[in-house]
Amino acid sequence: MKSKIVLLFFIFFIKINFSILYSQEQSTEKIAAQYFQTKDFLKAAELYEQLYEQKPNTYYYRQYVQCLFELGDIKTAEKFIKKELKKKPDEAYFNVDLGFVYQMEGDINRANKQYLSIIDDLKPDRNIINNTANAFISRALYSYALETYKKGRILLKGKYNFTPEIANVYYVQGNFQEMTEEYLNMLDENYQTYISYVQQRLQDFVANDDPEGSRINIVRDVLLNRIKKFPDRIYYTEMLLWLLIQQKDFSAALIQAKSLDRRLNEDGTRVLHIARISAENKDYDAAIDAYNYVLAKGKNTANYFDCRIELINTRFAKITENINYTQKELIDLRNDYNIIINELGKNSNTVSLIKNLAHLESFYLNNDSIAKSLLEEVISMKNINPRDKAECKIELADIYLMTGEIWEATLLYSQVEKDINFKNDPIGHLAKFKNAKLSYYIGEFEWAKAQLNVLKSATSKLIANDAMELSLLISDNIDPVDSSTTALAMYARADLLCFRNRKDLALMTLDSIRKIFSYHPIIDEVYYKQAQILISMKRFKEADSLLAIIVQNYSYDILADNALFDRALIYDEVFHDKEKAMELYQDVIMQYPGSIYSIEARRRYRQLRGDTVQ
């Protein structure tokens, strides 16, 4: 029993002393680090030397040697490193640092001889090879690190090729072409195993700090060269297709998708995938091209009818979102909608077609009664999907709001908002947002704000953002002097007139705000709303002059990037002034890199510059 007590006391004593020693070491290390950070390398060296003697580890060694280098005490460093080499002659860090000492002394030949001897003496051990390469990398000796890895490839005889490590060294060197080559070599080793890793690494590479797109061009060129050199390795073409999709270059992606579809004798599914992604990203020309390619395969193919519906809905999106559509395009689209609806019938499968036709009839062709009749017919259908019915109710409510039937509009919005099926659903949130906006239109700002504040946490990011923007519009434009809402009420009235397509009255109302409230915070919003109306009326020169005022006088405000991008679109799509459009797109990219328009601006800039893949 007595011996047991003595043993326990001894263990306790050891633990206490270890704790004290550990605490002392931590305290000394902290002080040493502070000296190092404040560049008091003499004091830091003394402490790190002491710490290394007490507990030899790589960190204390590196810090002590670095202090000696900073002090210019190369001789002490050499003596210390040689002493450690006697204890551990195979330690990579000691051997590399000895060569680095020779290099700092100006004896380059001796240094190179030391480095080459290290590589010559490598053993076929993956850990030793990695440690040696890391020792070279720590001294920025990247060419020797590469030689280490390449020698390691030979020594391990294919068991491990150090491809990711070599690619990373090329990246640090800025040799992006060789880096890409190395990553693609991994696909040659095992495509299925490495495809996700390679895609992630290349995506990170092209996404970081590359405003001019030079990196993406390097990766493209390497892939194109491999495709030409190894046409049977389909995965290179698939990699290029993937890369183009990531960069939202859908026209070029479509070229590759068509090529693969023909080569592999596919059914168009790959091309249809490109069509849908292009449409989602609003590259409607690429989407329409892709849909037409799939349709050309004939009615008997599996994707034909889905493709036909999606094509006409994509044409609808292109026309209704375009700033320069023609009346003929509207009428042709309406006729095509009627043809396909008559062919397929009015049923649950054609609801999207009917809803879009109703929107076209009401908001673009001024046929409100036809639009209402189409939507009421859908809403009264049996066995219709509840979501489709809700979407049609919202569309019908929009038309009631446009025609001034406020009560009918809010009733339909409320039906969808309060439907238990959509309580926490984006479509329910959309109905609530539209009801709140209706309150804003008619000047009930406090009620509108209360509803919008609830929507700021909506699961749909788009609706949450819209709610936040409208809430800020209300909050920021209540007169700061007397809390008056007169200017805001006039702006909301103009906004509603615009929604109702009474554009001349909307412009007159906005002009009145500019005259009466010339120094009001809402003025930049007024300029932008006027510009949007003028664009919709095809008065592009007037619109551009107003947008230029926003860019010049309100560059700090939230609408500046919107205005700049809209100017670029006008010069691109309407004035066809390529140089000016490129200049404006580049301004968006450089001045507002965090803008939601920066990616699209970059895509359009590259397209105008001629960055296409054949």
> Which of 127, 120, 149, 153 has the alpha carbon at shortest distance from 136?
149
- Please tell me the number of Cα atoms within 13 Å of 215 on its side-chain side: 19
> In the chain, what are the domain boundaries?
473-609
Separation of alpha carbons 503 and 511, rounded Å: 12
- Give the HSE-up count for residue 155: Cα atoms under 13 Å, Cβ half-sphere: 19
Q: Which single residue is written with the structure tokens 């680095």? A: 100
Residue-level pLDDT at 4: 53
- Token pair 């493209």: residue: 220
* Alpha-helix runs per DSSP H in 174-281: 176-189, 191-207, 214-229, 234-246, 250-263, 269-280
What is the reported pLDDT for 17? 47
Residue 73's H or E segment, with its range, is none
CATH 1.25.40.10 fits 473-609, yes or no: yes
Q: What is the DSSP string of 294-330?
A: HHTT-TTSTTHHHHHHHHHHHHHHHHHH-TT--HHHH
* Burial (CB count <10 Å: 0-12, 13-18, 19+), residue 167: buried
Pick from 231, 283, 226: nearest CA to 260 = 231
Answer for the pair 183, 167: CB distance below 8 angstroms, yes or no.
Answer: yes
Q: Token digits for 357?
A: 């036709």
- Give CA–CA dist 335/479, Å, rounded: 49
Sign of CA dihedral 120, 126, 129, 131: negative
pLDDT computed for residue 441 by the predictor: 96
263 C-beta neighbours (distance < 10 Å), count: 12
* 3-state secondary structure at position 67: helix
The pLDDT, as a whole number, for residue 16 is 47
Residue 211, pLDDT score: 60
- With CA atoms as reference, report the closest residue to 341 among 377, 298, 386: 377
CA within 13 Å, CB half, 278? 29
* Average pLDDT for runs of 10 along the chain of length 614: 50 46 67 88 88 87 89 90 89 91 92 94 93 93 95 91 93 93 91 90 79 80 93 92 89 93 92 95 94 93 92 93 84 95 92 95 94 96 92 97 95 94 91 96 94 85 89 85 85 95 94 92 95 93 96 91 96 94 95 89 88 54
